[in-house]
Structures are given as structure tokens and as C-alpha cells.
């Protein structure tokens, strides 16, 4: 049994001879193990990203509510926006 490992060099995939016999089998096992770890890692990454997206949505929803309330209070207490900045009304 001979074991070849695929490697990407400068955007090209090349086959690399690793060995035959026991060495080849061990290398094949190691390669398989690494592949499983990569798949597991990808799954975990996807889950984490989904969870974080849910958290982001929650945080954004709260931020939007707080922004509206803040705007309401500032307007009710005699402020207005001028070129995107909050200012106190002269007669407020």
C-alpha cells in the first residue's frame, strides 16, 4: 500500500508521495483523523456563527428600541438634531 497526500501549493493541487507499507498506513490514518477533525471544526464553526447571528439580532433589536426611546426623551426635553448632532433648542 502506498500513500499519497494531496497538498495545495500556490493554488495548484499536487500529489505528494508519503510512503508505503506501515509508514503509508500510519500516514493514511493520520490523514483520515485530520479530515475528521476538520469536518468537526467546520460544524462547530457553523454552529457558533449561527448562535452569534441570533445574539446579534437580539442585541440589534434592543439597541433599536433604546435608540427610539432616547430620541423620544431628548425631543421631549427640548433637544433637536442638527446635521446629525443633538442640540438644545434655544427656546427649549
Partner 1 sequence: MGDEIVKVNDETRRRAFEDLLDKTDKKKPKQEDVKALRKMLRETPEVWRIAGDLAQQATLATIDKIPATEAMKSSIRAGLNAIKDDLGYQDAPALEKLLTEQVVMSWLRMNLTEYHYTNVMMGKFISLPLAGHWERQLDAAQRRYLRACETLARVRKLIRRTPALQVNIATEGGQQINVA
Interaction residues for partner 1, span 39-58 (CB under 8 A): 41, 45, 48-49, 51-52, 55-56, 58
Contacts of 87 (CB under 8 A, 6+ apart): 79, 80, 81
Give 1 or 70: the residue with its C-beta nearer to partner 1. 70
Give 22 or 90: the residue with its C-beta nearer to partner 1. 90
In angstroms, give the least distance from the CB of 33 to partner 1: 12
- Determine the Cα–Cα distance for residues 27 and 18; give it in Å rounded to an integer: 7
- Determine the Cα–Cα distance for residues 31 and 15; give it in Å rounded to an integer: 14
**Does 69 help bind partner 1 (rule: CB under 8 A)?**
yes
Contacts of 20 (CB under 8 A, 6+ apart): 1, 2, 3
Contacts of 25 (CB under 8 A, 6+ apart): 1, 3
In angstroms, give the least distance from the CB of 44 to partner 1: 10
Residues that bind partner 1 (CB under 8 A): 37-38, 41, 45, 48-49, 51-52, 55-56, 58-59, 61-63, 65-66, 68-82, 86, 88-89, 91-92
Amino acid at each position: 500500500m502506498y500513500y499519497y497526500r494531496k497538498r495545495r501549493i500556490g493554488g495548484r493541487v499536487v500529489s505528494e508521495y508519503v510512503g508505503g507499507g506501515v509508514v503509508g498506513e500510519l500516514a493514511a490514518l493520520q490523514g483520515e483523523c485530520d479530515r475528521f477533525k476538520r469536518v468537526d471544526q467546520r460544524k462547530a464553526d457553523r454552529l457558533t456563527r449561527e448562535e452569534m447571528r441570533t445574539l446579534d439580532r437580539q442585541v440589534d433589536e434592543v439597541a433599536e428600541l433604546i435608540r427610539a426611546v432616547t430620541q423620544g426623551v431628548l425631543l421631549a426635553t427640548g433637544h433637536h438634531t442638527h446635521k446629525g448632532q443633538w442640540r438644545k433648542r434655544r427656546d427649549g
